[in-house]
Structure 1
């Protein structure tokens, strides 16, 4: 149903929002002004950073040149000392007593850290620090003046030493000799250099650079061996690294640093001015915003209040009409929507009441889950079927509420969930056994594909009358079929004996008698299995326990099965561990276990084959291992072989039984406190393993 939009005022006479838009444009102008200021500040920052990098680079270059000049000055000092006449006189006179004061005076006057004289391979005199241990004299060309850098003590305050060598004149030596002067790059020297350049100066040898962090300025100059200049924001300073070379090889780096504070002052002043201007403009913008908000806020707040009422499902109050043209159109549209939603809500509530009535009166249980398989709906029938309260079940995982029976130790929710299978787009159906408070309940679950973020499932209870009727029909059909075969064989044998008693030979008559015996054995086994099945269903399966010997049970079972073995010319081999203790058990039912298992092996094993039964003791249990040479089990059969009425697929009518034998075997074994397993070994055939506890056995 459509509702016409009702307009309470003439829209053409209503004022427009043009004036409001003009006011907003004024605010945009202010915003543009602020944007220009921000861009200007950004450009100034870039220019200031570039200037700071130029200054620190210049300081680094000056510091490196000063360090290089120190080595050149040191070489000049070495040559001057060598050419001093006093040195030549003292060396000719071998006057060591006056030579030492002379060298000490020269060292102090030249601000040197070490002066030494070597003649003909002998250290004549040394003043200050002895550098002979740091200098590889054999690797230095001592035939001409030269200077080089040495690595000092890495633990001290000086890690680099400059030395200069000047050879002595030939007239003063027989073989060779030289003068060596040295000076450390001390902290005092670097401080003086920093005062000259206006920056903090340090010198790091290669080993110092290698110990620096990976992304540091020191590591970068080590890797590139080129001058590196950059800002160090985390340290609030700018740095320059200038390589110091010995020939072509970089041996150290001159590091200079300038604090960023000096370059921040100009930016701070400009920032203060910009902030003052921005604050004034902001006050103006606030005032304008207040006026605009006062102009537009009142009708908008009224519309917001109407929208909030509708969100609370209050559709009875009309939406007020605004004075501006555009807001008036919006309010009229909202009021039209309110009336439409009001009508739709009434229709939905009526349909919901009908659906609730339907779900409350149907026989089947209905529940719905979300994408995480959590219950979002549960009708009363499903709640009664599952023995739960609706409020307690909503929001819980469906597997926790339904409690399906485990298969092979796993829940169907984890590996074969019908709800998950239905998400492929088609409805699914599965039969599950649920564990309820009143006992197990067999149900059929119909799962629909997801719709609207939910999935609906229908539960049909199969536990009571209908399930019993179908089970009764299936049992009657199976029993009728199973009884016909041995009865027909007996009837045929009796007719042949009656009609041809005089004409048949003794062997032929004996063969007919064996046939009747085999049919009788088969009928007895069918009757025993049916009676035991009825006892299990009626819970009249109490065991009659007494002390037993396992070999006696085997003999009685073989006596019953002997005609069946003769029919297929099969060999039955037993291996029984001697001196097995007696144990408590129900002899009739354990003989029934052996008869069912061995007859099963006779049925499926080929003619002229062997059936083996091995019995031994395993801890506190008796183990029976029965194996045949039949076709074996498929991997998918092992989980169903002990199920009630299960018959292996692909069998002929003569091979297939009622599907009760192995189910009864498992029931009897479990009631004795034991367990049974089945598999097919690699060499073929089928193997059953039975473990019976020796509880109550006499040692």
Structure 2
């Protein structure tokens, strides 16, 4: 299981993660754009460098023109030339050459050289020229106005004049002679120079000649002939430096944004998480049992914490009211349970006692601390117990260490939580136990001879049916009917003992209810025939019912016996099954006098309860409907009693679940 995180930490982490993710996405998608933009800047830089270089070349030419004008107008030079003083002229030229930036100076008279100073430039009349080393020269020829026969020739080397004022280490500006053919032919840079030389049109190229971008222009004379090529190349280092500068700026902005976002996210996260943390603390306090302190409304701009606080406060008030009501009810229940004469104890799933009233402590002779938390078998010990393995059965006899009399224990409920009721065995209990034992013994003793007698009478009836002695046959039938009724009375007595002692256990098997009803009708047919009654059956087959077939047969037999007993002679007894989605009802309807007004539902299903002045001559024990009610309830069903309407009589139905049932295999 992962470690729980605080809400503020999650909010801050999510905000920072989103910012970093956005920065990475921006960087990943913008690298190509950045490089293209930087290369575009390199193109612009190359074009700017070429433009500045052309400006510097023009300035270079103007400087040479100014120097030529100064020398041509020099009065001393004019004076020497007028008088033909060659030596003085040569001294003046040498002095002017040493004190100026002019690399070459020559004075001519009628085409012959009078004075010369400096290295010889390329043989060209005027304009740009290149020597054998590829060095560029600017050559200027100027006449002297006052001496038409004299002229001046001045020349300067290019030198460092093309170097840019700044960024020269990343820019390469060159002036070179035009190319008559690419050399070598497969060199892209040489080819580009050749194309510009031939066409005279400027060109801007990229990633060529070891440069990220380059600009090539041609310099032409007045006749339109290309005299030189001027190129400016931006090195790859310039692009890399610009990209690094941009990345550094981007990183700085990301760091600044990150810091600002961290501060902002921390502030917002604290404001968002603070009310939830406060409510979590209040909920923890509420869960700890503090129901008296109100839940304060958190100071926040969010609607959810305020609504949650209101809900918690409402829940606290309801819990406080319920707790107070429960405490009052528990106090009342404790007072009631402490006031009863029987001991009551609550058991958990492991048979440990978690509640005991005052009478239970007195009966066991122990204190509350000696009882609570202990197992029941440590407090009570069975006397000839026939308890089942799953727990204490009802109405069992037990003893306690300090009790003078045996204790009668009954267990109520089931599952994980149970309740036992304990009382001392008194004279009434002894008499009732003796009665139950006597009834059980008598019932068992009567069942064997009655069964043998019924078998003998059935054989006798079969024998008499083959003869002509009708009187003997009627006597045998009467004897058989009496034996059936006596067997039913004995079975009811035995069943009542089982029910009252809690030892009635049900078999859980699929039962064909229609077959059970038909068997009961067949069994009761002799008694029905005796009173000239008729059974009209409408029995529909259906799903099986889970239960005890023998006891369900006893239920239907008892219902038919009641109808036979209370209905007049020559009447109809109707039996019908009614199937529903989850329940099946077996109706037994007679045409008797109906239920007496004085008989309540409690009296109807109570054992040994009869109305002698309203009961027919066939008086019974008053156990039939009590047994019916107990068996049907043990099967998870119920008994319905209705009036038959216009025909009079009583309509009794047993309602049972079919398919899956809630009845248990050890229902008692």
For normalisation by structure 1, the TM-score amounts to 0.31
Structure possessing the higher radius of gyration over alpha carbons: 2
